[in-house]
Amino acid sequence: MPARDHAFLDHRFIALAHRGGWLTPEDAPRENTAYAFRRAVELGYRYVETDVRTTSDGELLAFHDSVLDRVTDATGRVREHSLADLAGVRIGGIDPIPRFADLLEEFGDTRFNVDLKDAGAVAPLAEVVQRFHAEDRVCVCSFSGVRLNAFRRLLPDVLTATTPRAVAWATHAFGLRRLFVDSGAALQIPVRQAGAPLDLVRADVVRLSHATGRVVHVWTVNEEAEMHRLIDLGVDGLVSDDITMLKQVLLERGLWEGDR
């Protein structure tokens, strides 16, 4: 079905708080924490972006990196630790690493754009989405088409983004775009990619996506002028760390549909 017919996308414009976002840059070390998501929700955000990966005992965590080193007071690979091992680990020295199930429970009216970060996360994510009856509250994406397709087989009615291969067809195949076949309803792409000869978000890409019933979401946009430019180009959503600025831009453009 066309993307706009899905309950997850019932807003004119999707404003996504990247890993919960920040209100000031000093909040950045506390990404993907209940604190970050709580502040986004308090600002009125209905949509947040997060990542999921698994522990050695199969627990599904909201965490971006494969290793703990960058944002926590611990070291080592996430998948080599059990949930019990990580109980005392703190993000930014303050916040515990949240289980995705706990986020779904605490933020019961919030919608999550979820990036599958490892193969082990596929089945646990499907299980927790079903357990919380959250099929209309999640959109699933991944840099791995294998992981994304595995999730689709488990929960075919849940909204997903297009695979990386489909993104390549949409942005670079030009004369072969008739082969742009993918069940994903959202083309989620950065403005540009290192080493790519072209900007990925262009008028022709937006037109193609809309013509095939898809929406276009762009990540991660933290500059005011760039937000305005992309909105003028016709994109359907922006992912940002600077959630204060994004809200202000959307208020100016008459596109803000947050809770406050």
Query: Which amino acid is it at 58?
Result: G
Question: CA-CA distance, 34 to 197, in Å (whole number)?
Answer: 38
pLDDT digits (tens, 9 = 90+) for 162-202: 999 888 888 887 656 565 678 899 999 999 877 666 789 99
Which residues are designated catalytic?
18, 64
Q: Among 87-101, 170-184, 198-212, which range has the highest average pLDDT?
A: 87-101
- pLDDT at residue 123 greater than cutoff 80: yes
pLDDT digits (tens, 9 = 90+) for 56-72: 999 999 999 999 999 99
Mean pLDDT of the chain: 94
pLDDT digits (tens, 9 = 90+) for 141-159: 999 999 999 999 999 999 9
Neighbours of 256 (CB within 10 A): 19
pLDDT of residue 43: 97
Question: CA-CA distance, 243 to 256, in Å (whole number)?
Answer: 12
pTM of the full structure: 0.95
Average pLDDT over residues 5-26: 94
Distance of CA 154 to the CA centre of its chain: 19
Listing DSSP states for 138-175 in one string gives EEEE-S-HHHHHHHHHH-TTSEEBPPHHHHHHHHH-GG
Give the chain's domains with CATH numbers. 3-253 (3.20.20.190)
